[in-house]
Amino acid sequence: MDFGVVLQTNPPAARTVQLAKLAEAHGFSHVWTFDSHLLWQEPYVIHSAILAETNRVTVGPFVTNPATRDWTVTASVFATLNEMYGNRTVCGIGRGDSAVRVTNGKPTTIAELRQSIHVIRELANSRPVEYNGATLQFPWSRGSELEVWVAAYGPMALKLAGEVGDGFILQLADVDIAAWMIKTVKDAAAAAGRDPESLAFCVAAPMYIGQDWQHMRDQCRWFGGMVGNHVADIVAKYGHHSAGSQAGAGSEDGAIPGALTDYIEGRKGYDYNTHGRAENDHVDFVPDEIVERFCILGTADEHIAKLEQLRALGVTQFAGYLQHDNKEETMRVYGETVIPALSAHVTAKA
């Protein structure tokens, strides 16, 4: 299993670069950043600085979208970074959340997301692509390599991830829900004639090493609010799953599990000015149980136990959000204890 960190690009930018360097020093393989250009600093500028000051980590947005950025420009960014730093980028992409909602926009359609993935991937892999009636190719790009990982929750987006994604990003660490979603993606990949095991499966959630459970829950409650934005869209389209159903199972029509949808009943709106922040003051509707299920909290042993469960489901990377007050210590314990424990387990089985 690989390990990544997910950072917000808050000023000063040097602090984001510092955390990325520390992540590499502690053995993390990936550094991801939020991508909402109005809420935080421009990520791709900072990605260049991170790549310049590190040697090994792969860097990418978590996640970008096809609405606020021209697809050909996005591809050019990755192809340029790859030429400069040696194919150390990855593109996480979804339909759009905070980047589009903060301007009262809407997420893109599944069809638009599918087309954007194709255009970005072909161009950023130094290949020609048909786009708007023209054949496009970067004449200056040679040997660029880029994987595109698709962030998804709803049934149609999960199907798309399996059909066209190089990887699947699930932004929550609930074991039951992860099992259902990973199976859905793998089934879609198989139905499309792809090898399901060739995809990367990335689970992302706040990681907090500590023992004060109330404090850890309060520091990470924002995550349930963030996930709730996506869930609200799904509920609007597919309706609530039967509350009496098994938490980890999808409904007969393939809709989302009840464990993911039921908790948003108390949601009364959302202010993107505190999106993804521990001090978010309007996520009281998120119960303690959801925080504990969606995040990975507690001692190193508790983290290892949950990560073992996720890996058994086919998760190939865990990306930990660090939007809390214990960033350095959490990364230190991961570097000294959690990552080696998961690596030792793989070695022992090999």
Instruction: Output phi, psi for 336, to 5 deg.
Output: -90, -25
pLDDT tens profile 203-248: 999 999 999 999 999 999 999 888 866 666 656 665 554 333 334 4
Helix extents (H) in 108-212: 110-124, 155-164, 175-191
CA–CA gap between residue 339 and residue 14 (Å, rounded): 26
Q: Which residue has the higher pLDDT, 92 or 38?
A: 92
Contacts of 66 (CB under 8 A, 6+ apart): 93, 95, 96, 108, 112, 113, 115, 116
Instruction: Output phi, psi for 7, to 5 deg.
Output: -115, 150
What is the residue whose two structure tokens read 């798309």?
Answer: 160
Instruction: Output phi, psi for 129, to 5 deg.
Output: -150, 145
Give me the pLDDT at residue 255, please: 57
The answer to whether the beta carbons of residues 72 and 131 sit under 8 Å apart is yes
The answer to whether the beta carbons of residues 45 and 90 sit under 8 Å apart is no
What is the residue whose two structure tokens read 């609930």?
Answer: 174
Segment (H or E) for 51: helix 43-52
CA–CA gap between residue 87 and residue 83 (Å, rounded): 7
pLDDT tens profile 249-305: 444 445 556 766 677 666 555 555 555 556 655 577 888 998 999 999 999 999 999
pTM metric for this prediction: 0.88
What is the residue whose two structure tokens read 């932004």?
Answer: 171
Mean pLDDT of the chain: 88
Instruction: Take residue 215 and report the two structure tokens written for it.
Output: 């404090």
Instruction: Output phi, psi for 59, to 5 deg.
Output: -125, 140
Average pLDDT over residues 33-40: 89
Average pLDDT over residues 1-11: 97
Give me the pLDDT at residue 149, please: 98
Per-residue confidence band for 172, with pLDDT thresholds at 50, 70 and 90 = very high
pLDDT tens profile 298-325: 999 999 999 999 999 999 999 999 999 9
